[in-house]
Structure 1
């Protein structure tokens, strides 16, 4: 996870507020299941929540779901209140087309660099 810089944002992008840290997550993921998966950032390890951002420069956006048998590298941009620190928790929720949760959500943690 890397901090977003002012140069990463274009004129019409959604930018973090002054009291937020903007960051980008780079994903290398393959969906080997028969169902789409949903990807999202939860919040800081101490609590709080993230907000979605958009920074066009350097972005490789992919929708919020990865289709069965699809593989790719893509990015997601978020903002987190500076008071929540730089340690982030990510959760991957696996749902079917009817929005039924398929299994317990795996969690990953990382730090914004």
Structure 2
């Protein structure tokens, strides 16, 4: 019996923890000169995007993180993606995802206006 909805977050976390070369596989962003914007939901149940964004920020302090409480992976609906026979937990609440979707669009527009004239 498969628990529904399926959450992949622990699978990703376990894979990283069990891979002795996981640190070598990180995308090197220390010397990236591009402007980096990361928008994440703090309740992402697909993978730990907030923790990964913080790792990028550690390598490149100029990177910007905008995180949203009660928001999941796709900023949509009640945090469950229904794909017919499979239900995937994406995280967040309806209110949190709606707020993150709205605010992140404004954040992206402001970031692009500021950094890509």
TM-score, scaled to structure 2: 0.24
Question: Which of 1 and 2 has greater Rg?
Answer: 2
Q: Higher strand fraction: Structure 1 or Structure 2?
A: 1
Decide which structure has greater helix share.
2
